[in-house]
Structure 1
Amino acid sequence: MRYHVSIIILGILSLICIWSCESQPKDTKKSAKINGVSLVASRDAIDSSHITPITNVNANYASVMPFGFIRSLESAEVLYNTDRQWRGERVDGVTETIKHLHNANIKVMLKPQIWISRGEFTGDMMMASEEHWTTLENSYEGFILLYAQLAQDTNAEWFCIGTELYNFVNARPKFWSQLIKKIKTIYSGNLTYAENWDKVDKVTFWNEMDAIGADAYFPISEDKTPTIKASRQSWQPWKTTLKNLSDTYNRPILFTEYGYRSIDYSGNRPWESQREDGKINHEAQLNLTNALFKEFWNEPWFAGGFIWKWFHNHSEVGGMQNNRFTPQNKPVEKLIKEHYQQYSN
């Protein structure tokens, strides 16, 4: 009798074990994401030693950002690839940078951008006449198609067709439609456009892109040092907006830029970039970044993002006395390294 009871008990335990094992997820590895850094253009040539710190934080992508310049909000001409620019802002420096990144198995988003003198916001750019619009369109097209060809020639995995240009995009839809068509005849990789957080849901050509690009400076907290829990809660309405946008266009959301300064109240107006003395707050930067990671990186409709911003001369930038955006040599750098490792290829 005891023998039969033992057999029955062993059988029940075996069934429990089988059920338990089958109920556990068979693959606990997290889905790979774009774990990127926004690599600031260098004045001088770079080499492989400048790429090593990027690999050390487990980044698998970097955005490379050549610049075109406009003299004022009313000026119509984009100046680009000139001898007066830093090496990293020109074709030769961009080509060199992409080569070193690819040699380190880091993929690339080529992201040409506009800088207006005195730091005026590009989204406010509006031409006063049809003549000025035509001049802007012709020079911007030359700028973008030059780098679309470079993206193709260097096998860049992504190409960003513009950054925070809402007035231009909204006022001149025919121009942007034909520009996208021209880009696609040159470049065969993935396309996105980087719109500012407050206009990303108003862009109408997302169906022509492979991802919806958002520069993710959404206001999250008015607290001096936001907590992770409160920051995650504050993300919910913005997250719903982004999820609905992804569903509408059947495209993933890509944070073409994201990040926070290591300064008091950095979640209140995260887009602000003016220099301020003191007010250093690494905990605020750490908590806000952690909350963003926890809210988005597990979502299937989210592609990943590029932290703003990363300098090539790692040992000379950032640090505990720096209250700017860069995560380099700050507590948040360790968080990024650990987080990116979980979502690597």
Structure 2
Amino acid sequence: MKGAFISPIFRGMKYTYSFLLLVIGCLALGGCSATPYVSQKIDGVSFVASGDTLVQKDINPVLRVGASHVAIMPFGFVRDLDNPQLYFNAERQWYGERYEGAKQYIEALHQSGIKVMVKPHIWIGRGTFTGDMQMKSDADWVAFEKSYREFILLYAKLAQETGAELFCIGTELYNFVNERPDFWNSLIAEVREVYTGKLTYAENWDKVDKVNFWSQLDYIGADAYYPVSEAETPTIAEAKAGWQPHKKMFVALSRKYNKPVLFTEFGYRSADFAGKEPWVSDRHDGKMNAEAQVNLFEALFEEFWNEPWFAGGFVWKWFPNHERTISQENNRFTPQGKPAEEVLKKWFEKT
């Protein structure tokens, strides 16, 4: 009861009792260090870079859906694996993919009260998946590492300068991570010297539990395109059941490293069989299946957003030109202008 007097002796007994319950609970779970707790979820969207500056009409739809965070994604390019040089921050790139544009995006989002994760990406010519990148010699690895370090430190400094709340040190680079551990350990230390915010790394869904440097970061980052159903139109219950083995892995990983899990990317196409191979992103002419996208989003939110060890995530993907995007019926990832957008709004507003 507000204003009621509580004896200091009773108050002390009450707090001691609460502390004992906490200790007992921790022991039952194998130690408090095994159960990280996140009090505020990251309700994020992944912003697609454009050729123009970011203006308020581009930001308003993000505010309307209730997103708290936006991922800004500058890009670097590798011509092919015979040329181990990373090119970035070039005038020929889209405005939003280079330093100047990323800076303007971050500042505009911050002015609207939206937090930011800076998340550099690499594109390799001929469609090579970044996680399969394999250099032909140690000399090639060293050459690539030099340009990658410059790329990451440039954007880590931008994140610090603009006050970005999170920084991602890489995206889907498992072979690079696995074969060059000394480089990554030194890179993380260098990033910590120039950036004081929270750090993560975005690993592809099938390799998250194989990364060895999670203890050095603040979040375990997963691009969470996990197969959860082979149905043409999965029900929410089917998709939730399909999440169980993956969720069990995340619980174990979170306890092992005492780190919260962050979905650095998650999303589904509005297409048939969208839960079977959610990572497939090529264009195809299949019909729209908005129900599949809705059910898969709802199942993911129900399974994860109430978990204390789960930090939240960034929906893949969101286009700045909202009006143009919603006028184009498509079966691709964006939830904009589709029933799935209302699912995001419902859950984002809850948290």
TM-score by length of 2: 0.88
Taking a change above 3 Å as real, the CA distance of residues 141 and 342 of structure 1, as seen in their structure-2 partners, is same
2:95 is the alignment partner of 1:87? yes
Partner amino acid, structure 2, of 1:338: K
Q: Is the 8 A contact 1:164 1:195 kept in 2?
A: yes
The equivalent residue for 2:203 is: 195
| CA drift at 1:119 | 2.9
| CA drift at 1:47 | 1.2
Aligned residues: 314
The equivalent residue for 1:110 is: 118
| CA drift at 1:295 | 0.1
Instruction: Tell me how far apart the structure 1 counterparts of residues 81 and 61 of structure 2 sit (CA, whole Å).
Output: 37
Partner amino acid, structure 2, of 1:299: E
Instruction: Tell me how far apart the structure 2 counterparts of residues 40 and 102 of structure 1 sit (CA, whole Å).
Output: 17
The equivalent residue for 2:268 is: 260
Instruction: Tell me how far apart the structure 2 counterparts of residues 56 and 244 of structure 1 sit (CA, whole Å).
Output: 35
The equivalent residue for 2:26 is: none
The one-character-per-residue Cα deviations of 1:216-236 (angstroms, maximum 9, x if unpaired) are 000011100000001101111
2:238 is the alignment partner of 1:230? yes
Alignment match of 2:295 (pick from 280, 287, 306): 287
The one-character-per-residue Cα deviations of 1:89-115 (angstroms, maximum 9, x if unpaired) are 111100100011101100000001101
Alignment match of 2:309 (pick from 291, 295, 301): 301
Alignment match of 1:150 (pick from 149, 158, 163): 158
Taking a change above 3 Å as real, the CA distance of residues 319 and 230 of structure 1, as seen in their structure-2 partners, is farther
Partner amino acid, structure 1, of 2:167: F
| CA drift at 1:130 | 1.1
Instruction: Tell me how far apart the structure 1 counterparts of residues 65 and 49 of structure 2 sit (CA, whole Å).
Output: 19
Instruction: Tell me how far apart the structure 2 counterparts of residues 154 and 119 of structure 1 sit (CA, whole Å).
Output: 33
Instruction: Tell me how far apart the structure 1 counterparts of residues 153 and 326 of structure 2 sit (CA, whole Å).
Output: 34
Partner amino acid, structure 1, of 2:281: S
| CA drift at 1:252 | 0.2
Alignment match of 2:330 (pick from 322, 325, 329): 322
Taking a change above 3 Å as real, the CA distance of residues 212 and 74 of structure 1, as seen in their structure-2 partners, is farther
Q: Is the 8 A contact 1:226 1:267 kept in 2?
A: yes
The equivalent residue for 2:50 is: 42
Q: Is the 8 A contact 1:63 1:108 kept in 2?
A: yes
Q: Percent identity?
A: 57
Instruction: Tell me how far apart the structure 2 counterparts of residues 48 and 161 of structure 1 sit (CA, whole Å).
Output: 29
Partner amino acid, structure 1, of 2:218: D
The equivalent residue for 1:125 is: 133
Instruction: Tell me how far apart the structure 2 counterparts of residues 319 and 289 of structure 1 sit (CA, whole Å).
Output: 22
Partner amino acid, structure 1, of 2:226: F
Taking a change above 3 Å as real, the CA distance of residues 49 and 315 of structure 1, as seen in their structure-2 partners, is same
Q: Which has the larger radius of gyration?
A: 1
2:59 is the alignment partner of 1:51? yes
The one-character-per-residue Cα deviations of 1:130-177 (angstroms, maximum 9, x if unpaired) are 111011000000000000000000000000000000000000000001
Instruction: Tell me how far apart the structure 1 counterparts of residues 328 and 51 of structure 2 sit (CA, whole Å).
Output: 24
Q: Is the 8 A contact 1:319 1:330 kept in 2?
A: no
Q: Is the 8 A contact 1:123 1:167 kept in 2?
A: yes
Alignment match of 2:254 (pick from 214, 221, 246): 246
Displacement over 4 Å in runs of 4+: none
| CA drift at 1:72 | 1.8
Secondary structure (helix, strand or coil) at the match of 1:114 reads strand
Q: Is the 8 A contact 1:191 1:210 kept in 2?
A: yes
Partner amino acid, structure 2, of 1:296: F
TM-score by length of 1: 0.89
Partner amino acid, structure 2, of 1:266: A
Alignment match of 2:80 (pick from 32, 53, 72): 72
| CA drift at 1:318 | 4.1
Q: Is the 8 A contact 1:73 1:124 kept in 2?
A: no
The equivalent residue for 1:186 is: 194
Secondary structure (helix, strand or coil) at the match of 2:206 reads coil
Secondary structure (helix, strand or coil) at the match of 1:51 reads helix
Q: Is the 8 A contact 1:214 1:255 kept in 2?
A: yes
Q: Is the 8 A contact 1:74 1:126 kept in 2?
A: no
Q: Is the 8 A contact 1:124 1:167 kept in 2?
A: yes
The equivalent residue for 1:278 is: 286
| CA drift at 1:279 | 2.3
Taking a change above 3 Å as real, the CA distance of residues 92 and 174 of structure 1, as seen in their structure-2 partners, is same
Unaligned runs of 5+ in 2: 1-37
